[in-house]
Amino acid sequence: MSDEKTDRQRRHEQEHERDVTLAKEKEDEAEEDENKEIAREHRDEQKKRKTADQRSVRRKPKNRRISTTTATKNHLKVNYKRIENLTDGGKHLLL
């Protein structure tokens, strides 16, 4: 009879241990899934930020070297506008 009790007790302890390990495994899996979801969200956010940064970079004009004739024309335009602003609209000036 004592052997039967110890067998039953041992079986009960084994079932309890099995239940505890299963619960722990489920908990670990849930935590792992949660971490994966957080990591995925973080990656998506980084991708969005990266594409936004790339867009802003694309919109900026490139620093190209302009030809000297273009630079001279632009310089003359700016000077003409300055002269217009300083005088009476540049009516008496012929540039």
Q: Are 83 and 90 in contact (CB under 8 A)?
A: yes
How far is 87 from 80, CA to CA, in rounded Å? 11
**pTM assigned to the model:** 0.41
Q: Where are the domains of the chain?
A: 2-60, 63-95
pLDDT digits (tens, 9 = 90+) for 2-60: 677 788 888 999 999 999 999 999 999 999 999 999 999 999 988 888 777 676 666 66
**Rounded to whole angstroms, how far apart are CA atoms 33 and 41?**
12
Q: CA-to-CA distance for 88 and 38, rounded, in angstroms? A: 66
